[in-house]
């Protein structure tokens, strides 16, 4: 899983909707503040801030203003990765929480807003690499939301916050669950999904938000149904001026291996000066071009992304992709400079950047071999859902075509994955089992990845005991670069199976 994309999506979904005439204990949902909320959701931050300022002059004590101020900052920090703004604005968390503390205890929005703001900052801090601060905010958000639920048991919005927290805590890998137990944090994926869906059914004004959260959690932790996938594609069509919805549709469809469909929403998303600058969209265009084997186009968009982007994540990753755009086109001399940049620039917070650094080390040591080009071509094509092209790349290759155990295992995994995506299930199984066999007692990611997919296959075949064994096998692999994401998915699947 692309953990950073998941965080981007989750962060941009923690929102607030309510009735136009709702006014409870110094929380007043005026028309201007509602417009500001919707402009933020569309990524029109300047117009939103202007509306908030107009309302601040009228009633600065309105608790909703604090929430929307934070909501706007959240979107800016998340998308821009502006380190100076993060440092300067960090004190705003405590100031806003203190302002909300002045609301009467009889208001259910007091602790609801406080829990949401804590959760906002938890994800922001995680994005900027402050895991300790993020963990503390998660703990505080959980406890505040739990208290609000006890005080106001019929106030449904609290379940939106708790539902998300229950899923995230329930997805913690087994080797960290002792921490959550000590801290008194209780999580359950099934419970969290049910809470979110309850809000969706019973709170009409939260319907779209909870729909989106539900879609994201299924896409990145569970699996999307056909109905959910149809909803995902319909939402941006219903709101053509909503850049956020187009971004969600693009990234989730890409994650689902449907890049050609994703490209439609990426190309038809709204643009203009009223929207926040979003260079990451050029990165996504580069990704799809790389998947399609259009290496010059991919190079153009990755380069454009780097020129516009001011953040710190995806620097190593995009330099790796610039390398691939040249290397896979057999322009090895032009490619070399970008692998050096992948080794020396950027951070290693997200999985993509960590992988880029590892590959840069392999390249420096001479372990990135020309024979591996075909594996990368097949990998990128498969990731995008360009399956006939992916199969054509590797159809005539065997284990004898490669020298290392890792490459032999990857060949089997790639063949298995392509056939699985083409619904040729019986043909894919031997390849997955071979990848698992070859990677025993190693940290190669192709073994746990194959075991995870075999778990899904056996679950769909109703062979639940066999599926459980494969999911546990997937979690048993140690210290591979996708351990957290694979373990989270395997654990979620085991929960669904009653384990």
Q: Using one digit for the tens of pLDDT, what is the confidence trace for 414-440? A: 999 999 999 999 999 999 999 999 999
Per-position b or e across 319-346, b if 16+ CB within 10 A of its CB:
bbbbbbbbbbbeeeeebeebbebbbeeb
Count of alpha carbons within 13 angstroms of residue 60, beta-carbon side: 3
Share of the chain above pLDDT 90, in %: 79
Q: What is the pLDDT of residues 289-308, one digit of tens each?
A: 999 999 999 999 999 999 99
Label residue 294 exposed, middle or buried (CB < 10 Å: 0-12, 13-18, 19+). Answer: middle
Label residue 155 exposed, middle or buried (CB < 10 Å: 0-12, 13-18, 19+). Answer: middle
According to the CATH classification, is domain 3-221 in 1.10.150?
no
Q: What is the pLDDT of residues 315-371, one digit of tens each?
A: 999 999 999 999 999 999 999 999 999 999 999 988 899 999 999 999 999 999 999
Q: What is the pLDDT of residues 440-488, one digit of tens each?
A: 989 899 999 999 999 999 999 999 999 999 999 999 998 887 888 899 8
Contacts from 451-456 at CB under 8 Å and sequence distance 24+?
451/477, 452/486, 452/489, 452/490, 453/416, 453/417, 453/420, 454/429, 455/490, 455/493, 456/223, 456/493
35 Cβ contact partners less than 8 Å away, ≥ 6 residues apart: 48, 51
Q: What is the CA radius of gyration of the chain?
A: 23
Rounded to the nearest 10 degrees, the angle between the axes of helix 45-58 and helix 31-41 is 160
44: left (phi over 0), alpha (psi -120 to 50) or beta: beta
CATH number of the domain at 279-368, out of 1.25.40, 1.10.3470, 1.10.760, 3.40.50?
1.25.40
CATH number of the domain at 404-499, out of 1.25.40.10, 1.20.1250.20, 3.40.30.10, 1.10.3210.10?
1.25.40.10
Q: Is the Cα torsion angle 72, 76, 79, 82 positive or negative in sign?
A: negative
Which residue's structure tokens are 């938890």? 122
Q: What is the pTM of this model?
A: 0.87
Which residue's structure tokens are 């896979």? 328
Determine contact, residues 216/231, Cβ cutoff 8 Å: no
Q: Is the pLDDT of residue 250 over 70?
A: yes
Q: What are phi and psi of 27, to 5 degrees?
A: -120, 105
Dist CA 379 CA 410 (whole Å): 9
Lowest mean pLDDT among 72-86, 114-128, 187-201: 187-201
Lowest mean pLDDT among 8-17, 20-29, 97-106, 250-259: 8-17
Return residue ranges of the chain for CATH 1.25.40.10: 404-499
Dist CA 371 CA 63 (whole Å): 61
Q: Is the pLDDT of residue 203 over 90?
A: no
How confident is the model over 164-184, as a mean pLDDT? 70
Q: Maximum CA pair distance of the chain? A: 75
Task: Identify the band that residue 396 occupies on the pLDDT scale cut at 50, 70 and 90.
Answer: very high
Q: What is the pLDDT of residues 30-87, one digit of tens each?
A: 999 999 988 998 999 999 999 999 999 999 999 999 999 999 999 999 999 999 999 9
């Amino acid at each position: 899983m692309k953990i950073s994309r998941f965080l981007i999506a989750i962060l941009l979904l923690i929102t607030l909707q309510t009735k136009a005439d709702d006014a409870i204990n110094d929380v007043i949902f005026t028309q201007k503040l509602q417009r500001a909320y919707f402009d933020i959701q569309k990524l029109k931050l300047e117009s939103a801030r202007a509306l908030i300022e107009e309302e601040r002059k009228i009633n600065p004590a309105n608790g909703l203003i604090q929430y929307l101020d934070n909501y706007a900052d959240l979107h800016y920090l998340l998308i821009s990765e502006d380190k100076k703004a993060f440092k300067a604005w960090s004190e705003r968390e405590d100031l806003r929480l203190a302002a909300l503390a002045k609301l009467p205890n009889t208001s259910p929005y007091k602790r609801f807003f406080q829990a949401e703001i804590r959760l906002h900052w938890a994800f922001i801090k995680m994005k900027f690499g402050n895991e300790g601060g993020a963990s503390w905010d998660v703990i505080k958000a959980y406890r505040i939301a739990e208290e609000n639920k006890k005080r106001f048991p019929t106030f449904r919005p609290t379940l939106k916050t708790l539902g998300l927290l229950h899923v995230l805590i329930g997805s913690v890998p087994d080797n960290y669950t002792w921490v959550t137990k000590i801290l008194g944090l209780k999580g359950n994926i099934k419970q969290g999904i049910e809470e979110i869906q309850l809000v969706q059914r019973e709170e009409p004004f939260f319907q779209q938000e909870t729909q989106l959260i539900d879609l994201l959690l299924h896409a990145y932790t569970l699996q999307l149904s056909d109905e959910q996938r149809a909803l995902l594609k319909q939402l941006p069509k219903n709101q053509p001026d909503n850049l956020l919805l187009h971004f969600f549709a693009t990234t989730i469809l890409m994650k689902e291996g449907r890049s050609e469909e994703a490209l439609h929403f990426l190309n038809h998303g709204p643009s203009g000066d009223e929207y926040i600058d979003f260079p990451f969209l050029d990165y996504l265009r580069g990704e799809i071009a790389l998947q399609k084997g259009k290496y010059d186009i991919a190079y153009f968009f990755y380069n454009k992304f780097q020129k516009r982007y001011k953040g710190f994540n995806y620097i190593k990753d995009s330099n790796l992709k610039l390398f691939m755009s040249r290397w896979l086109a057999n322009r090895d001399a032009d490619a070399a400079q970008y692998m050096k940049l992948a080794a020396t620039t950027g951070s290693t917070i997200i999985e993509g950047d960590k992988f880029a650094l590892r590959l840069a080390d392999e390249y420096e040591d001479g372990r990135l071999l020309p024979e591996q080009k075909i594996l990368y071509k097949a990998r990128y094509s498969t990731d995008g859902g360009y399956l006939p092209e992916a199969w054509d790349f590797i159809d005539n290759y065997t284990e004898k075509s490669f020298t290392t155990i890792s490459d032999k295992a990857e060949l089997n995994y790639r063949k298995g994955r392509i056939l699985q995506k083409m619904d040729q299930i019986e043909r894919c199984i031997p390849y997955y089992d071979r990848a698992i066999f070859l990677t025993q007692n190693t940290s190669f990611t192709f073994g746990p990845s194959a075991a995870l997919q075999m778990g899904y296959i056996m679950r769909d075949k109703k062979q639940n005991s066999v599926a459980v064994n494969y999911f546990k096998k997937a979690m048993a692999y140690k210290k591979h670069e996708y351990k957290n994401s694979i373990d989270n998915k395997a654990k979620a699947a085991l929960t669904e199976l009653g384990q």
